[in-house]
Amino acid sequence: MALTDRRRVNGPALPTSIPFYDTPAPAPTVSRSPTELRKIFLKTSLTPPASGSAFYELTPPSTLKLTTSVYGPRPLPPSAGFSPTARVTAELKFAPFSTRGERRGYVRDGLERELSLQLQIAISGMVRASAYPKSGIDVFVTVLDCEGRIEEMIGVDAAEGEGERASLGAMQVLTGAITCASTAIADAGIECVDLVAAGMAALVEAKDGKDMVVMDPSPLDGWQVRAAVLVGYMAARDEITLVWSRGEVGVEEFTGVMESAVEVATKVRGVVNDAVRERLVALLKARGKKEGKKAITEDVEMTG
Amino acid sequence: MSLPTTCLPGQPLPVSPGTIPGPGTYISNSEITSTLTGLPSYNATTKTISVSPATTLPSPLPTISSTVLARVTRINPRQATVAILSGSDTFQGVIRQQDIRATEKDKVKVFESFRPGDVVRAKVISLGDLQNYYLTTAGNSLGVVMAVSEEGEEMVPVSWREMRGMKTGKVELRKVAKPI
């Protein structure tokens, strides 16, 4: 205290925050019908050095934005060991600015590790790995913007209902990541047995107290979510590559929710198809093939 | 049978019976299905349906019996280690002493055939082990295509086993590829 300058007005010893008067956020309202899907913007080949890449965005008010780049097939590092088929690895990373409020650290955390693993399971089934011996295909997904809250994925300490809704944020990121990654792999020209598209559906408590199934639920919608199911689905082969469910749900109800999720994935597949075909159209144009122009329209209207 | 103009992965291709699946296709539930985003085509003479991709991979993988260009990185009395040049990536390969030429294999000396820095045209004989593809230069058209001498001078082939410096005329030994 002796060293304190008492002749002048000193600033505060610790930093203080500016008083900031914020109006409380309006309560979330449900604006979509339970069977209406949000529109998806999906574009390929935006990262030049990558073999293939894609950008995924949901139309406002949803804010989810992702980019994916695919590298490979390239030689495996000696530490990886011998593999007679291609080894598909996936890494999902949240950008530091991707979450609302608090910035995320650069260090890989548990959630990123979990989502990376799920993503890898979902997409490795679609690549024709036997065509690429001794090589690695690396998929990198960067989440640029999230929707809703991500942190309380499990919802341990959250209020009733709130916890499951919070987990929707993480599930939605994975839904987007699977769709985006599958588009980027197809864009790279890697042989695939089929394309994976992801879809999500939730069992929610309606106003009358009954349960109902909502397709493509958003954490911003404000549903009282009881359970949510995410599927990675290959529509042409009618094959599910990944199922991820959260919340409590009975067996019969689960089947219903999953079927809805598959229906969402089938519709999303249409968007993936259009996005992948876009580059083909450009190629045909470059070649000046007239029959190509006849077969495909130049602009593709992407609907979810 | 009319083929679609374009196809996507997982799309079944309409084919007549007896058609053979070619590159870019596979058989799924007894249907020939595309594995690539591209343009399907049917070869009537070979009865093969194939899909040519819209985008080629930046670095195609070496396959068995494909001819590759490789740069020699190091040599020892048993083998020469090479880096196969394929787009942006390089794949490591080896040319063993017995694979350098087709005749008198036991008399081949690696250091009289290749030197580090040479560019070699070689054929893939095996996908090999974890690290290496196995290559061979046995054949007239295979061997060194570009080399510099110990002095750093560019050399031109003079015979199947000799190269000569362009200015000094100094001769060095190589397993030379027949110029195309």
Per-residue HEC secondary structure of chain B comes to CCCCCCECCCCECCCCCCCEECCCEEEECCEEEECCCEEEEEECCCCEEEEEECCCCCCCCCCCCCEEEEEEEEECCCEEEEEEEECCEEEEEEEEHHHCCCCCHHHCCHHHCCCCCCEEEEEEEECCCCCCEEEECCCCCCEEEECECCCCCEEEEEECCEEEECCCCCEEECCECCCC
A interface mutation test: which of B61, B84, B89, B92 has the most A CBs within 10 A? Answer: B61
Q: Give A-chain residues touching B124 at CB under 8 angstroms.
A: none
Question: B52 and B93 in one domain?
Answer: no
Burial of B66 from C-beta contacts in 10 A (0-12 / 13-18 / 19+): middle
* pLDDT, mean of each 10-residue run, chain B (180 residues): 85 87 88 90 89 80 92 94 88 93 90 94 91 92 93 91 91 91
Amino acid occupying residue B27: I
Question: How far apart (Å, rounded) are the C-alpha atoms in residues A59 and A97?
Answer: 19
Mean pLDDT of A216-244: 89
Q: What is the CATH number of the domain that holds B81?
A: 2.40.50.140
Residues 51-90 of A with CB under 8 A from B: 51-52, 73-76, 78, 81-82
Question: B36 and B114 in one domain?
Answer: no
Taking an 8 Å cut-off on Cβ atoms, the answer to whether B9 and A191 are in contact is: yes
In this model, does residue A289 exceed pLDDT 80?
A: no
Question: B140 and B93 in one domain?
Answer: yes
- pLDDT tens for B101-112 read 998 888 999 999
Q: Answer whether A200's CB lies under 8 Å from A266's CB.
A: no
Residue A27 covered by a domain = no
Q: What is the CATH number of the domain that holds A47?
A: 3.30.230.70
Mean pLDDT of A1-24: 73
- Interface A-B, measured as beta-carbon pairs within 8 A, has a size of 102
In this model, does residue A239 exceed pLDDT 60?
A: yes
Tell me the C-alpha to C-alpha distance, in Å, between residue A172 and each of A34, A64, A167, A296.
16, 8, 9, 31
Residue B95: partners with Cβ closer than 8 Å, 6 or more residues away: B79, B80, B82, B114, B120, B122, B134, B135, B136, B137
Band the pLDDT of A11: cuts 50, 70, 90: confident
Residue A34 covered by a domain = no
Residue B131 covered by a domain = yes
In this model, does residue A303 exceed pLDDT 80?
A: no
Taking an 8 Å cut-off on Cβ atoms, the answer to whether A279 and B53 are in contact is: no
- The two three-digit tokens of residue B43, written as one number: 């070869």
Q: Give A-chain residues touching B28 at CB under 8 angstroms.
A: 193, 237
Residue B61 covered by a domain = no
Band the pLDDT of A224: cuts 50, 70, 90: confident
Taking an 8 Å cut-off on Cβ atoms, the answer to whether B9 and A192 are in contact is: yes
Question: How far apart (Å, rounded) are the C-alpha atoms in residues A294 and A152?
Answer: 51
Question: B76 and B19 in one domain?
Answer: no
Q: What is the CATH number of the domain that holds B8?
A: 2.40.50.100
Q: What number of other Cβ atoms are within 10 A of residue B27's Cβ?
A: 9
- pLDDT tens for A244-255 read 988 888 888 899
Residue of chain B whose Cα is closest to the Cα of A82: B130
Residue A169's domain spans which residues?
40-295
Tell me the C-alpha to C-alpha distance, in Å, between residue A55 and each of A52, A70, A272.
11, 12, 11
Question: B153 and B85 in one domain?
Answer: yes
Q: What is the pLDDT of residue A154?
A: 42
Q: What is the pLDDT of residue A25?
A: 66
Question: B97 and B42 in one domain?
Answer: no
Band the pLDDT of A52: cuts 50, 70, 90: very high
B interface mutation test: which of A51, A132, A183, A281 has the most B CBs within 10 A? Answer: A51
Of A52, A128, A283, the CB nearest to B26: A128
Of the candidates B11, B36, B56, which is a domain's last residue? B56
Q: What is the pLDDT of residue B122?
A: 95
Residue B9 covered by a domain = yes
Of the candidates B56, B77, B95, which is a domain's last residue? B56
Residue of chain B whose Cα is closest to the Cα of A192: B35
Taking an 8 Å cut-off on Cβ atoms, the answer to whether A193 and B28 are in contact is: yes
Q: What is the pLDDT of residue A156?
A: 39
Question: How far apart (Å, rounded) are the C-alpha atoms in residues B6 and A239?
Answer: 23
Domain count within chain B? 2
Of the candidates B37, B56, B75, which is a domain's last residue? B56
Residue B104 covered by a domain = yes
User: DSSP letter at A1?
Assistant: -
Of B12, B57, B92, the CB nearest to A51: B57
Q: Which residue has the tokens 């590159």?
A: B23
Q: What is the pLDDT of residue B80?
A: 95
Mean pLDDT of A289-302: 50
Q: Which residue has the tokens 């598909």?
A: A88
Question: B84 and B35 in one domain?
Answer: no
**Separation in Å, CA of B145 to nearest CA in chain A:** 25
Q: What is the pLDDT of residue B88?
A: 79
Mean pLDDT of A72-99: 89
Pairing of strands A65-75, A52-58: antiparallel
Of B10, B26, B129, the CB nearest to A234: B10
Q: What is the pLDDT of residue A164?
A: 62
> What is the overall mean pLDDT for chain A?
84
In this model, does residue A163 exceed pLDDT 70?
A: no
* CB-based contact, A152 to chain B, within 8 Å: no
Residue A115 covered by a domain = yes
Band the pLDDT of A158: cuts 50, 70, 90: very low
> How many Å is the Cα radius of gyration of chain B?
21
Amino acid occupying residue A194: D
Question: How far apart (Å, rounded) are the C-alpha atoms in residues A134 and B61?
Answer: 9
Residue B179 covered by a domain = no
Residue B180 covered by a domain = no
In this model, does residue A109 exceed pLDDT 90?
A: no
Residue of chain A whose Cα is closest to the Cα of B23: A191
ipTM of the prediction = 0.84
Q: What is the pLDDT of residue B135?
A: 95
- pLDDT tens for A93-104 read 999 888 877 778
Question: B111 and B34 in one domain?
Answer: no
Question: B97 and B27 in one domain?
Answer: no
Taking an 8 Å cut-off on Cβ atoms, the answer to whether A194 and B53 are in contact is: no
Top-confidence range, A6-15, A165-174, B16-25: B16-25
Q: Give B-chain residues touching A186 at CB under 8 angstroms.
A: 8-9, 37
Question: How far apart (Å, rounded) are the C-alpha atoms in residues B31 and A118?
Answer: 30
Of B10, B59, B92, the CB nearest to A74: B59
In this model, does residue A119 exceed pLDDT 70?
A: yes
Domain count within chain A? 1
Residue B108 covered by a domain = yes
Q: What is the pLDDT of residue A23?
A: 73
Q: What is the pLDDT of residue A208?
A: 82
Taking an 8 Å cut-off on Cβ atoms, the answer to whether B55 and A81 are in contact is: no
In this model, does residue A218 exceed pLDDT 80?
A: yes
Amino acid occupying residue A193: V
- pLDDT tens for A129-157 read 998 998 999 999 999 998 876 655 444 33
In this model, does residue A219 exceed pLDDT 50?
A: yes
- The two three-digit tokens of residue A40, written as one number: 């998806």
Residue B161's domain spans which residues?
67-173
Taking an 8 Å cut-off on Cβ atoms, the answer to whether A236 and B10 are in contact is: yes
Query: What whole-number percentage of chain A has pLDDT above 90?
Result: 43
Q: What is the pLDDT of residue A157?
A: 39
Which helix (H) or strand (E) segment holds residue A44: the answer is: strand A40-44
